[in-house]
Each structure stands twice: as structure tokens, then as C-alpha cells.
Amino acid sequence: MALAQSPRGPPGDPMTSLLITDIGELVTNDPQWASAGQSAGQSADVARLGLVRNAALVVEAGRVAWIGPASLAPQADSQRSVAGRAVIPGFVDSHTHLVFAGDRAGEFAARMAGTAYDGGGIATTVAATRGASDEELRALLTARMAELRRQGTTTVEIKSGYGLSMDDELRLLRLAAEVTPHVTFLGAHVVPTEYAADRAAYVDLVTGPMLAAVVEQGAAAYVDVFCEPRSAHAFTEEEARAILLAGRSAGLGLRVHGNQLGPGPGVRLACELGAVSVDHCTYLDSDDVAALAESGTVATLLPGVEFSTRHPYPDARRLLDAGVQVALATDCNPGTCYTSSMPFVIALAVRELRMTPAEALYAATAGSAATLGLRGRIAVGEPADLAVLDAPSHVHLAYRPGVPLASALLG
Ligand code: NIG
Ligand code: FE
């Protein structure tokens, strides 16, 4: 069924108000509505979604101006019925590597036949990306951004990391900044092959001139490092510490790829240094879980990676039960997880990580938003970053896996 649109005003015109009505289930993630759910006897995970049934909302100048029952909705310049569908906060994909050229389908096929992932394939993507022009990379990135929006993602973090030279890292950061304000410097993705014989020189480059140029150009808000002593290509604890400390001193927020391929120091290092997020968290011991629970660091789970590498899924229940803040993201990249679909990630989180549908949706919106300093909620005054589901309830995201139910609602 098509979305009905009244002819009273131009839809999406920033100067006019738009009433979105006939919302069967509005997910707000707003504590104000959550308390109503609690008193109505909803379980804590569902109550936290702050559901409003038979709802409407008004958007004005790109922000939410009113929320409430459809029967009480005010007049607006134009009106749009979503005919009983669910409306949710747009997904926040807080971990992607969207600026790259080429693909590694052959590596994926070999992995499905038993070859282990060790990060060595990143060099293939670095070579393809260095060889691509700005125009080629911009076209690929623009197409990927449109693909994300079509699936309900309205906020995206993008890392560099397939340049690994001063000029190429800055180029990837500039391209990323054309499409999102949430940009992360990942010069420490792997040691590039030309530095294989002198890793220390590459760490010096990343922590010295490369970082200085990134900061001088205001090219990134965060620094990230692939801390994985099990991979010959990635960074040891000592190297990762130097990179994170340099980034922190330069005023950047910290993000970490940690504990992806096996137990390791990444999670504890991230917590110790006050990273906003440590991502993957696939192999955790009890000290890691305790460190996360005591810190303000969010554990960002990327179950599309385990799907695509045949590693075991992270233990989300253990984290949630310990009171750790959990986020979900895609990690969209050509090596370990070539999907841009947050609904797919939610379905995996529910089926394989044993999160409830409500926990998974919260983690893919408010949870991931928190790592970017955002709220990921639908509330008066917040940006109107909305997604609509071609379904009456958020539960359908996991209940109907693989069905393209979600899309960005405006713009
Ligand atoms: O998050 N682990 C490191 N980086 C990416 C993979 C990049 C690649 O293989 O191209 C990740 O999984
Ligand atoms: Fe990643």
C-alpha cells in the first residue's frame, strides 16, 4: 500500500510543518513515554522503547515539533499518513568502513571453504582504493549511502583505513566528511606492506605527522585502532596504546577494534583510556566484562562479522546482564562484513545473540547513537531522523528477516 500524501503543502519543505499520522506503533526511545509503558505492565526492554500507539508527530525545520496520540494531533501545513505502520528512530550505524574500492568476494568464498580471516586481505583493498580516483570513490560512497538510507539508516559513522599513507588517509577522510559529520581516523587499521619490515616507523608516522595533519585539517572527530595481537598485520597493545594516547592528546575521541579474532587486550585498553566504544567484543573474559561494566565505554557488537567469518557470536546476554551498555552496527566493509543492512544485524542479534527484539532495536538506535554523542530518540526538539517499517511493530524486523521492511521516512 502506498503512503497517502495530502496536497496541502510540499512534503519535506523545511519551511513548512508536516504532520505524520496514523502511526500504528511509534518507537521513541524516550524515558518520558517509557514510564507510561512501565505502568502499563510492559517488560523493561519493551518499556524502554517508549512506545506510543496510534500516534502522530509533527516535523518542522527538520526537527520533531510535537508527538502524541493521533486523535490529538495539531494542524500542520501538510499531512502524510503511514497507514498503521510502525515509525522508529532511524538506525544509527556507528561503525562502517564505507570509503573503499573493489571487493573481496574471492576471499569470502575461500573463507566459507575453511580459510581463516587474519586481516591480510586488507592490503588488497588498500591497493584498490589507492588506485581509485576521488570521483570513483565518491560515486561508490554515494551509492552506499543511498543503500543505507533505503534500509532505514539515517546516521552513519565512517572510518578511513584503506589509504594508510598521509595523502590517502586525508583523501578518504575528506570524502567521508562530504556525507557525514561522524568521521574516524583509522590510519592504524593495519601496518601497510611497505612498512612491514619497520612497524615502529609506521606507528611513528600515524602518531606523528599523519595525526597532526588530520587534526590540523579538522578531518576527524575520533581515532580508532585495530588492536589484535593475533594478527601479524594489526597492532599490539603497546602500539595501540601509543596511537590512542596520541589521538587523545590531540583532542580526538577514542574508538577501538578489540577482541575480534581471539581474547586480547583491546577491550581493557579501551576502558582504561576512556574510549567511547570498543567494537567487536567477540572474545571476552570476566575481566573484560567487569571492565566494561565499570566504565562508560560502550560495547559495540557487529554480528554481521561473525556471520561472514564463521567466528562464534559475541555473548550479548552476558554483557547486558552485567549492565554493560551495548550497541549494534554493521561494520560494513569489503573484508569481514559486506552488508549495509541494520535490519539484518538486528535479526542476527535476536536469533544468534539472544537479544530480545526490543533490546536489539534499542542497541541499533539509542545504543549506537550514544557512541557518537547523540540520543537516537524521537522527541520534541530532536532531529527528525525517522524510519518507517512496512509492518505494524518493531518485532517484525527480526520476525521477517531478509524482507526489506525499513526505510528512511523523510528526504
Ligand atoms: O572491522 N578488523 C579490522 N577491520 C575490519 C575489517 C577490514 C577488512 O578486512 O577489510 C573489521 O572487521
Ligand atoms: Fe571495523
Pair (404, 331) in one structural domain: no
Q: Check if 335 has its Cβ closer than 6 Å to any atom of ligand 1.
A: yes
pLDDT tens sequence across 314-338: 999 999 999 999 999 999 999 999 9
Q: How confident is the model at residue 4 (pLDDT cuts 50, 70, 90)?
A: very low
Cα(401) to ligand 2 centroid in Å equals 23
Position 257 confidence tier, pLDDT thresholds 50, 70, 90: very high
Same domain assignment for residues 81 and 113: no
Using the mean position of ligand 1's atoms as its centre, give its distance from the Cα of residue 58 in Å: 40
Considering the domain architecture, whether residues 175 and 132 belong to the same structural domain is answered as: yes
CATH code of the domain covering residue 74: 2.30.40.10
Is residue 2 pLDDT above 80, yes or no? no
- Whether residues 13 and 97 fall in one domain: no
pTM of the model as a whole: 0.96
Distance CA 367, CA 316 (A): 13
pLDDT tens track for 104-135: 999 999 999 999 999 999 999 999 999 999 99
CA of 174 to the centre of ligand 1 (A): 20
Judgement on whether residues 276 and 356 belong to the same structural domain of the protein: yes
Where in the sequence is the domain holding 8, given as residue range(s)?
A: 4-90+378-408
Average pLDDT over residues 153-167: 98
How far, in Å, CA of 327 to CA of 9, rounded?
A: 38
Could you give the number of structural domains in the chain?
2
Report the 10 Å Cβ neighbour count for 181: 11
Which residue owns the Cα nearest ligand 1 atom 7?
335
Residue 183's nearest CA partner among 148, 212, 221, 140 is 221
Report the nearest atom of ligand 1 relative to the CA of 335: 9
Same domain, 241 and 121: yes
| Residue 247, pLDDT above cutoff 80 | yes
Cα 91 to ligand 2 centroid, rounded to whole Å: 18
Question: What confidence tens digit (pLDDT) does each residue in 175-194 have?
Answer: 999 999 999 999 999 999 99
Q: Which residue type occupies 243?
A: I
Please report which ligand is nearest the Cα atom of 127: 1
> Do 333 and 389 have their domain in common?
no
